[in-house]
Amino acid sequence: MAIQRGRFSDIPTDAVRLSKEEAVDYQIKLMHDWSEWKDVFFFKYGAGFLGGASAAVGIYLNDYYRRKLKLRSYGSVSSFLASSLIPTSLTLVFHYGLIVPHVILKDTCAVCIEIRAASIQSVFGCVVPSLLAPISAFSAAISYGTYNVPYITQPLQVLNLWKQLTKPIGNILFGLFLAQALLASGVTMMEGRSVDIVNKKMEMRYLRTEHD
């Protein structure tokens, strides 16, 4: 069975009416159980690519600030969790929650969905790691005394230090921001194509069955 949207009068007599939530759950199960992997590759693994992209930016920024603050291996686990795991988790949660249902239901224009996906990815794949990585590194540097980081009671001095450390990679951050947006837009477009391919093949199977 393929999911179809339309007026009540256009619904086939043998169709099963589903709520939006049921339709999304059904389509996701159908996509994950689909035997032709090429048809559903991006739907099944696209979000993983986005999560991996967020993690990669977090790892890069975590390593950058840790080197600048001479942290070596001090507090490495906690800073990794803050700069990589959190953005990755948020990327996946918001993509599955705010993008995938609309890709399936097609209740929003394709360009609008891609722009929304790009915005979410840019925020959680670049902006959030850009904030969490220095915060976690600064905290570790204060705890282990590896760098003269101003305390939180001196916000202007902390901000100046952040600017000083971040300025050399400003262009890189801008490039990463754009790259994340383009990646999310492309993945979302391919997810939509995967849904179209599967639904088209399901309709063709249904028509062949009707004529047999």
CA dihedral 50, 110, 193, 202 (to 10 degrees): 130
The model's pLDDT over 147-204, given as tens digits with 9 standing for 90+, comes to: 999 988 899 999 999 999 999 999 999 999 999 999 999 999 999 999 999 999 998 8
pLDDT confidence tier of residue 18, bands split at 50, 70 and 90: confident
Of residues 206 and 49, more confidently modeled: 49
Percent of the chain topping pLDDT 70: 90
Has residue 16 got a pLDDT over 70?
A: no
Has residue 121 got a pLDDT over 80?
A: yes
Has residue 47 got a pLDDT over 60?
A: yes
For residue 187, tell me if it sits in a domain: yes
Has residue 2 got a pLDDT over 60?
A: no
Instruction: Tell me the whole-structure pTM to 2 decimals.
Output: 0.88
The pLDDT of residue 89: 97
- What is the token pair recorded at 194? 């995967």
Distance CA 165, CA 133 (A): 12
For residue 160, tell me if it sits in a domain: yes
For residue 7, tell me if it sits in a domain: no
Percent of the chain topping pLDDT 90: 83
For residue 67, tell me if it sits in a domain: yes
For residue 8, tell me if it sits in a domain: no
For residue 209, tell me if it sits in a domain: no
Distance CA 87, CA 121 (A): 10
Structural domain that includes position 120: 19-25+39-198
The pLDDT of residue 5: 55
DSSP 168-191: GGHHHHHHHHHHHHHHHHHHHHHH
Asked whether 172 and 18 are in contact (CB, 8 A), the reply is no
The model's pLDDT over 128-156, given as tens digits with 9 standing for 90+, comes to: 999 999 999 999 999 999 999 998 889 99
The pLDDT of residue 212: 56
For residue 190, tell me if it sits in a domain: yes
Has residue 9 got a pLDDT over 50?
A: no
Residues present in the chain in total: 212
For residue 105, tell me if it sits in a domain: yes
The model's pLDDT over 57-93, given as tens digits with 9 standing for 90+, comes to: 999 999 999 999 999 999 999 999 999 999 999 999 9
Domain count, the chain: 1
